[in-house]
């Protein structure tokens, strides 16, 4: 980079204002200058002037003026992304600062996959609640692909799940936690539990509760049937919800592939039963995943530290 371009970048940074960033973020979402102006509580001519100032400042067009929308150029898309990130970080800073100033412990948004990971997170929350009784924790349960998208968009602070795309290696810091043995599970009333031997070929005739396409559990399900030389049956119900699955297993003759750690207590209490059929492999380790190159709060660092410590104890 030349000295001139460095000076130019420095000059731009001194001229950027909050309203510049706010307009970029709103235009990126709405693609409409009138709506963006309304949400900023300014007139449309004022919004037009802010955008013109931005484009003059950057010496480049940021949006195409089309009849029905304001479409970001490549440089506009880049600008919108960084404006959104900056505003998100400013909001987070403001909230945490106010909370700490008023004697609180802040808040943390944690995304988790169901089943075994939920148990580990529960144990972590129990310990961090003891240490930080006023910390507010928001739990979001979803499949790994959706959680990864939310982590990238900064809608959650930390994720307990699995990376689902190759590019996540460049975006996220990933630390393995635990592997998940998997079992075929049914309601305690299921006819197959009365049979001495259950073959994979017989399972294709029963209705299944499946995890959604693209999830690690769904891939394992399909691999298990493929290893037996069979086409995987189609699920009657597809859901990532462990709670919906538990209700359906107890009320119907459906079968589901689930992490053993999450099912053991229901089997122990006589609500569910395991089918003695070979599962091709265990699920790969789920992980604690955070964004790279980003300052983290004390609460988040402590949460992740407790999570890793409890996971290490579980492996012994």
Cα separation, 221 vs 233, in Å, equals 10
Is residue 91 situated within a structural domain? no
Is residue 28 situated within a structural domain? yes
Averaged pLDDT of the chain: 87
Is residue 96 situated within a structural domain? no
**pLDDT at residue number 125:** 94
**Domain encompassing residue 109:** 104-179+285-315
**pLDDT at residue number 7:** 43
Cα separation, 62 vs 55, in Å, equals 6
Longest dimension (CA), the chain: 80
pLDDT band at 3, cuts 50/70/90? very low
Asked if 253 and 274 sit in the same domain, the reply is yes
Six-digit token string for 42? 């300014």
Give residue-wise pLDDT tens across range 194-227. Answer: 887 788 888 888 999 998 888 888 888 888 888 8
If one counts the domains in the chain, the total is 3
**pLDDT at residue number 216:** 82
Asked if 48 and 127 sit in the same domain, the reply is no
pLDDT band at 236, cuts 50/70/90? confident
Asked if 189 and 44 sit in the same domain, the reply is no
Which domain CATH number covers 238? 3.40.190.290
Q: Where are the alpha helices (DSSP H) in the chain?
A: 3-15, 18-30, 33-40, 44-58, 74-101, 116-131, 144-152, 168-171, 200-203, 216-227, 242-251, 260-268, 298-315
Asked if 249 and 196 sit in the same domain, the reply is yes
Q: Which of 45, 72, 56, 70 is nearest to 16 (CA)?
A: 56
Residue 282 DSSP label: P
Asked if 167 and 295 sit in the same domain, the reply is yes
**pLDDT at residue number 4:** 47
Is residue 97 situated within a structural domain? no
Which domain CATH number covers 49? 1.10.10.10
- What pairs with residue 174 in β-bridges? 289
Q: What's the rounded mean pLDDT across residues 172-183?
A: 89
Asked if 171 and 291 sit in the same domain, the reply is yes
């Amino acid at each position: 980079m030349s000295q001139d371009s460095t000076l130019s970048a420095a000059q731009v940074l001194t001229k950027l204002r909050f309203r510049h960033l706010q307009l970029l973020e709103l235009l990126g979402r709405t693609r409409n200058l009138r709506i963006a102006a309304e949400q900023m509580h300014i007139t449309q001519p004022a919004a037009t002037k802010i955008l013109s100032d931005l484009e003059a400042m950057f010496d480049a067009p940021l949006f195409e003026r089309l009849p029905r929308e304001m479409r970001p150029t490549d440089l506009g898309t880049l600008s919108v992304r960084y404006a959104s990130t900056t505003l998100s970080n400013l909001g987070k800073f403001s909230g945490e600062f106010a909370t700490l100033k008023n004697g609180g412990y802040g808040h943390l948004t944690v995304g988790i996959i169901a089943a075994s990971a939920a148990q580990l997170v529960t144990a972590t929350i129990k310990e961090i609640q003891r240490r930080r009784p006023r910390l507010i924790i928001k739990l979001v349960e979803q499949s790994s692909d959706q959680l990864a998208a939310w982590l990238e968009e900064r809608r959650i602070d930390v994720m307990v799940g699995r990376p689902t795309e190759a590019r996540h290696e460049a975006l996220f810091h990933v630390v393995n936690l635990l592997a998940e043995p998997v079992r075929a599970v049914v309601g305690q009333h299921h006819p197959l539990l009365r049979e001495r031997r259950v073959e994979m070929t017989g399972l294709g005739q029963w209705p299944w509760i499946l995890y959604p396409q693209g999830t690690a559990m769904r891939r394992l399900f399909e691999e298990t049937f493929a290893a037996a030389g069979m086409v995987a049956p189609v699920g009657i119900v597809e859901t990532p919800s462990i709670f919906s699955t538990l209700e359906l297993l107890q009320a119907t003759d459906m079968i589901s592939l689930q992490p053993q750690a999450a099912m053991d207590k229901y089997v122990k209490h006589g609500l569910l039963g395991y089918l003695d059929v070979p599962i091709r492999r265990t699920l790969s380790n789920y992980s604690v995943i955070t964004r790279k190159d980003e300052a983290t709060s004390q609460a988040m660092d402590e949460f992740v530290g407790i999570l890793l410590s409890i996971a290490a104890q579980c492996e012994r």
